[in-house]
Structure 1
Amino acid sequence: MRGQINWDMMQTQIVDALMTSQQQRLLDTLLDNLDGMIYRCLYDDQWTMIYVSKGCESLTGYAPQDLILNKVKSYERITHTEDRAQARKIIHEAVSRKQRFALEYRIVRADGEISWVAERGSGVFDPEGKPVALEGIIQDITERKRIEQALYSTEQKYRSMFENSTLGMFQTTESGTYLNANLALAKLYGYASPAELISDLNNISTQLYVEDSRRHDFTEAIRLQGRVQNFESQVYRLNGETIWISENAHAVYDAQGSILYYEGTVEDITDRKNYELQIRQLAVTDNLTGLLNRHAFSGKLASLIAEADKFHYKIAIAFIDLDHFKLINDTLGHRAGDKLLENVAQRLIQSTRPTDAIVRFGGDEFVMLYPGMRSAEDAQPLLSRVMEAISQPIAIGDYVFNMTCSVGVSIYPDHAQDIDTLLTCADSALYSAKNAGKNKVQMFSGSLAQQLGERNEIEYGLGHALQRQELMLYYQPQINMQHGNISALEALIRWQHPERGLIPPDQFIPVAEETGHIFAIGEWVLQTACKKIKAMQTEWGYLVPIAVNVSPIQFLRGNLVETVQRVLRQERVPPHLITLEVTENARFKDEAMFTRTLEQLKRLGVCIAIDDFGIGYSNMAYLKNYPIDELKIDKAFVQDLEQSVTNGNILLALINLGKSLHKSVTAEGIENEYQHRFLLHSGCDVGQGYYYSKPLSDEALAQFMREQRPKFDHLQVSR
């Protein structure tokens, strides 16, 4: 029995020992697999470790045996020097109160890297309550600290941006009260602080926005699109003034998808909106007079036409042109001309009804729009009032002007139903009024319609005239008055229309200038003249210079220099054999470009002549600065020379002016012996006119050349 009992006791002891061993292994396994280091250390100055788990190595870089009893390194030395005192203080305070402790600090790993750790533990006390050891767990929180630092930095950055931003920033409830605002927003709305704004503005819809519906538009846009961008509104400031703002905002939602608040930015765009308004006004307003400008004309007339159609009214469109304005503008300068236009604009305003519209169409041209007409006759008293208002004396500086105007009128819908045709009809009527002696009102009529039809026929025909070879050049000889031989030829264009016969240039050149056909025609004239020079050289053995006319439109708006250079190169004609004749008035369209083009042409080697000299009302001083070779005196001073002493005196003055400037002087329109002799004895260089020869076709020119051949021997010398 005793043996049996001893055996049982032995079995029990063996089982207890096995159980204790298994529990220890289980405990060791659990401790070793914990994320961190389990420790027990003495409560001394070095935190002398008496137990550390295997987590020590991944945490500190040291093996457990390195720290046990401070064999290689004490934990005190591992703790970062800047954190040791604070860590010991926290632990001492907790132990003294017999409480658990928790703290965060830095350690220096075996590889020199610094890590953040979190330590939690408690004191171990002897039977008398005296602390003898510490035990607990230390875990690596470096990654958490990095995240926290990043979040903190982001929060600080956002907070700094929020508080210091020059843009207004806000958070508002869905119902329309402010949760948060920065100082920029407070100042934008006229408040001293964000707190004052948040306290005062408790209903954004009614207190802030000028339009009550804007808050609803704001929230609806976010509901549909998730955000608002560049949401522009007019709002009230604290003092009652209104400004324009632009908002960018979005909604912030909770986990359940409900709106927590709106947040966004606000920018003051008042200056920009005012600038845009000014730009829109400038786009439709004439800077000088304050009237509607040409760009606004079509829109205004279109709206009046829609109203006229609705109420079955007529509209009178009056095209007004000031008579002799160019003479005043060129004589006294643009400043006086501008003052004159300002005065005329005010008089037009004073002579119209509130329903009428006035447009400055450009230069000295105005268009009056008279809606509400029952008949064309209803416009007569209104137009008479305009004529009377403009005719009153206008004082500008030391000058008093008695202005008149010419007026052309068309009626909607009697004369046309579209804007362009109505304006064309009024323009045609104006042209007729000016041709009739000016200071008149001309209503568009059937006869004018016929003229318009003829003009349209010319415009259409011009588009095909070159391709169909209907254009031709005639040549009028220019005679050296001292020697009597040919000095040059002037090329004069003619149009052999298949139905209307020979059309002179004064009927189709203005249309060509308006439609842009002048550029192709001008190049053809120059090319044909060059070919003629080569043909005459081949046939007669002489190089005869030829002068061609250049339109002011071609001169100032086309690529004239490139065209001349290209044609001369293609035809291989010496440049000095070509004279380009440009009218004196071309310089007024753009004097800077006029000068540049003249200089460029002279560099090519061509000759330059001023045509119709003396009738341009210009300042003669420009002649000394421009590279001009020849002055062609207008025929108006040669006609009636026998009966007009004044014409004779003017001719002498013009010839002497040309001589003093070392320019060749040509007189046009010489028709009889008296005129020839007068100009010869006055020192005129070259004469041109029917007295010598009319413009000649190719065949007639050949006959003329045969008859004049004995005089060719001096041709080169005379040129």
Structure 2
Amino acid sequence: MKHPNIPHLLQNELMDPTLTSNQQRLLDTLLDNLDGMVYRCLYDLNWTMTYISKGCEALTGYPAQALLNNQQVSYENITYPEDRARARETIAQAVTHGQRFQLEYRIIRANGDIIWVAERGSAIFDQSGQAIALEGIIQDISNRKRIEQDLFSAEQKYRSMFENSTLGMFQTTKSGMYLNANQALADLYGYASPQALIGYLNNISTQLYVSDSRRAEFTEAVRAQGRVQNFESQVYKHDGQQIWISENAHAVHDAEGEILYYEGTVEDITERKNNEHIIRQQAVTDNLTGLLNRHAFSGKLASLIAEADKAHRKIAIAFIDLDHFKLINDTLGHRAGDKLLEKIAQRLIQCTRPTDAIVRFGGDEFVMLYPGLRAADDAEPLLARVMETISQPIEINDYVFNMTCSVGVSIYPDHATESDALLSCADSALYSAKNAGKNKVQLFSGLLAKQLGERNEIEYGLGHALQREELMLYYQPKIDMKHGGVSALEALIRWQHPDRGLVPPDQFIPVAEETGHIFAIGEWVLQTACRKVKSMQQEFGYLIPVSVNVSPIQFLRGNLVETVQRVLRQERIPPYLITLEVTENARFKDEVMFMRTLEQLKRLGVCIAIDDFGIGYSNMAYLKNYPIDELKIDKAFVCDLEQSVTNGNILLALINLGKSLHKSVTAEGIETEYQHTFLLHSGCDLGQGFYYSKPLSEQALSAFMLEQQARLAHLDRIPEDTAIGLPDQPF
């Protein structure tokens, strides 16, 4: 029977009478199994589809029947609006010239997703040569488009790094000619531009190196070791001046193993080389700044104390630490960091009186000694001048920095009379200033001493807490938002201190991280959580996964992988029942170590969750490369959901991001019915917060689980979605 909307010619072509039923069935099967959508459509305004293969639904999200003859939607309507005119023009040009067409454009899937597709095909003409239909195949090329974009971004990033790096960067031929150089290298060698450097230096061996044999030694070292590191040489600048450089370089090979070129970085080390013999002689002088060094501190302070005792005066000891110096050092390199320290040292010198002394204690730490004070308050204008001077803009390698500093101050003889004790008091005050938000001056005081005493008490108590069985775990349920059952538990540590009562983790975990107690505590938490898995199975008859928080210190500096493996083996717990939660910012402390540890943990079989997700580093591209199972959205985006449209939009974006990456998504801090409903309808997998349950002691958890079982049984919903599964035998 002919379809009323299909011309007679096309009707005949759809059912070729020369094909047997088996041949027709084979043809249909082949078309349906192709990767993409095979189609035939009328050459009209809506691309009216008269035939579509089964690949339609995988490609567009619509069943084939929905697009046939525009029954529910036309192909024109699902073509991305901004691409419609271009697509139609491309096809029209091909049809006009009797050629096959090939094009790429975007379509809007049934769920609203926008994807890239590639279409190939040709026109069908009637006996008069008029185009009446199109036929071809349309395929999803979104992955290729993403790869192309990633490659383009990587190339742009590399070029930006090459051009803007403060280190000299180069590529040279085997014979000794420059292929490429950046502006930093041109500046280092005294050329106006990279092009000028490349044009002038056509024989590195004789024109650059002072020693004629140095280039040969460079190439031999690369041949023997694959690279050179800290390869130090004397070279000529463009004006003939001799400088010292340090090179790090390696060879780039082709597919056959032949060397294509050398590439690497160059750093000017002239100043260091020229001053090495002076440094050895000046044991009490800081080689970078010319200030007194740490070894000279005690002697200098002792002489000032003797003078103060005779004159019945006081001395202020100011411990200064530059805020955010490490970020500058890591970003622009140590050379820029050294230049910054030199300028800071010069500014401190400008702030001093003839009787004052400045000590570079190490790194970005300085100590100012202010003798001859009648009272402690006399130090205030001196320190205010230091803060003001350091805060003035500093220019380094075309970068301008606005530095701040934190200062801790102790007073002789008010706070102590011994050199080490005075420095310890100033150091403690500095610690307080930095914890208070930095860019502050903190004077040591009785209150500060009390706070430090409390911290020391916590530090001392932590050393005995495990042996005295003062630590305990509370458990907060993770609720399956769709079914309402308990999907997992998060183990949360508490400390029942004999004098201070129940101490929350935010008061003692930072101390544990600083002192190294975190490693023993972390192992105890993991071991206790594993035992809880077994006891829950014995009590309720099914397995419930448990997650534990892992400190970045454990993750990056401890033997976490070995610890997890040992505990799982000892407790005989399947690895998939344990989730390790690590904060998003942990990876930036040492990304290489972070990635290696993740991969090793995944090989053990444990699950990995990113905690406090969304409040860390803004670039989330790392998610696609890391073996992560769960994203835990930080409660900061949930707590104000009722009043904040922005929070709602961010939540939707984070949930969709997790879903697109096939990660489980958990929302933390749910406290209201509105928040629960919003997240449920947004597709969030798991919920956690006071709306469901606060963290529970072991006894309270048992009561909560029994109540949950009773509620689900009443609703005739067996918690099969929440239980992982029953083992053949108990643990």
Please, what TM-score do these two structures have when normalized by structure 2? Answer: 0.55
In structure 2, the CA distance between the partners of 1:384 and 1:617, relative to structure 1 (3 Å rule), is farther
Q: Determine whether 1:458 maps to 2:453.
A: no
Structure 2 equivalent of residue 712 of structure 1:
719
Q: Determine whether 1:651 maps to 2:615.
A: no
CA distance in 1, matches of 2:339, 2:653: 33
Shift of 1:614: 2.4
CA distance in 2, matches of 1:315, 1:402: 30
Shift of 1:556: 1.5
CA distance in 1, matches of 2:338, 2:682: 41
The worse-fitting range, judged by mean Cα deviation, of 598-607 and 633-642 is: 633-642
1:50-65 equivalences under 5 Å are: none
Offset from partner CA, 1:230-275 (integer Å, 9 cap, x none):
xxxxxxxxxxxxxxxxxxxxxxxxxxxxxxxxxxxxxxxxx99985
Structure 2 equivalent of residue 22 of structure 1:
none
Shift of 1:637: 2.2
2:631–2:663 Cα contact (<8 Å) kept: yes
1:281-680 equivalences under 5 Å are: 285=286, 296-297=293-294, 299-311=295-307, 312=309, 314-323=314-323, 344-353=344-353, 355-359=356-360, 361-362=362-363, 366-395=366-395, 401-418=401-418, 421-434=421-434, 436=436, 438-617=438-617, 619-680=619-680
Offset from partner CA, 1:684-703 (integer Å, 9 cap, x none):
22221111111100001111
2:556–2:593 Cα contact (<8 Å) kept: yes
**Amino acid aligned to 1:305:** L
1:331–1:618 Cα contact (<8 Å) kept: no
1:327–1:617 Cα contact (<8 Å) kept: no
SS at match of 1:407: strand
1:122-161 equivalences under 5 Å are: none
Shift of 1:441: 1.6
1:477–1:489 Cα contact (<8 Å) kept: yes
SS at match of 2:696: coil
- Bigger radius of gyration, 1 or 2? 1
2:480–2:722 Cα contact (<8 Å) kept: no
Identity of aligned residues (%): 78
CA distance in 2, matches of 1:495, 1:609: 24
Aligned pairs, number: 443
2:542–2:725 Cα contact (<8 Å) kept: no
In structure 2, the CA distance between the partners of 1:502 and 1:373, relative to structure 1 (3 Å rule), is same
1:21-36 equivalences under 5 Å are: none
* Unaligned segments of structure 1, at least 5 residues: 1-270
Structure 2 equivalent of residue 58 of structure 1:
none
Offset from partner CA, 1:151-194 (integer Å, 9 cap, x none):
xxxxxxxxxxxxxxxxxxxxxxxxxxxxxxxxxxxxxxxxxxxx
**Amino acid aligned to 1:716:** A
Structure 2 equivalent of residue 92 of structure 1:
none
Structure 1 equivalent of residue 99 of structure 2:
none
SS at match of 2:639: coil
CA distance in 2, matches of 1:415, 1:469: 38
2:359–2:366 Cα contact (<8 Å) kept: yes
CA distance in 1, matches of 2:608, 2:374: 57
CA distance in 1, matches of 2:641, 2:326: 27
Offset from partner CA, 1:501-525 (integer Å, 9 cap, x none):
1011111111111111111111111
CA distance in 2, matches of 1:615, 1:389: 34
The worse-fitting range, judged by mean Cα deviation, of 663-672 and 452-461 is: 663-672
1:581–1:609 Cα contact (<8 Å) kept: yes
Offset from partner CA, 1:465-494 (integer Å, 9 cap, x none):
111100000011111222222121111110
**Amino acid aligned to 1:705:** M
Shift of 1:660: 2.8
Shift of 1:639: 2.2
Offset from partner CA, 1:581-601 (integer Å, 9 cap, x none):
112222222222222111111
1:112-191 equivalences under 5 Å are: none
The worse-fitting range, judged by mean Cα deviation, of 586-595 and 373-382 is: 373-382
2:279–2:287 Cα contact (<8 Å) kept: no
Please, what TM-score do these two structures have when normalized by structure 1? Answer: 0.56
SS at match of 1:716: coil
1:291–1:360 Cα contact (<8 Å) kept: no
In structure 2, the CA distance between the partners of 1:538 and 1:595, relative to structure 1 (3 Å rule), is same
CA distance in 1, matches of 2:589, 2:510: 16
Shift of 1:635: 1.8
Offset from partner CA, 1:612-659 (integer Å, 9 cap, x none):
222233532222222222222222222222223333333233223323
Shift of 1:676: 1.9
In structure 2, the CA distance between the partners of 1:508 and 1:282, relative to structure 1 (3 Å rule), is farther
**Amino acid aligned to 1:301:** F
In structure 2, the CA distance between the partners of 1:323 and 1:272, relative to structure 1 (3 Å rule), is closer
In structure 2, the CA distance between the partners of 1:385 and 1:675, relative to structure 1 (3 Å rule), is same
In structure 2, the CA distance between the partners of 1:713 and 1:453, relative to structure 1 (3 Å rule), is same
Offset from partner CA, 1:660-690 (integer Å, 9 cap, x none):
3322222221211222222223322222111
Shift of 1:563: 0.8
In structure 2, the CA distance between the partners of 1:699 and 1:430, relative to structure 1 (3 Å rule), is same
Shift of 1:554: 1.6
Structure 2 equivalent of residue 690 of structure 1:
690
1:492–1:695 Cα contact (<8 Å) kept: yes
Q: Tell me the C-alpha RMSD between the 2 structures.
A: 3.4
CA distance in 2, matches of 1:396, 1:303: 34
Shift of 1:580: 1.0
CA distance in 2, matches of 1:453, 1:555: 29
Shift of 1:279: 6.5
Shift of 1:562: 0.9
**Amino acid aligned to 1:304:** K
Offset from partner CA, 1:279-330 (integer Å, 9 cap, x none):
687998586x7767xxx53x33311332133212644333344556678789
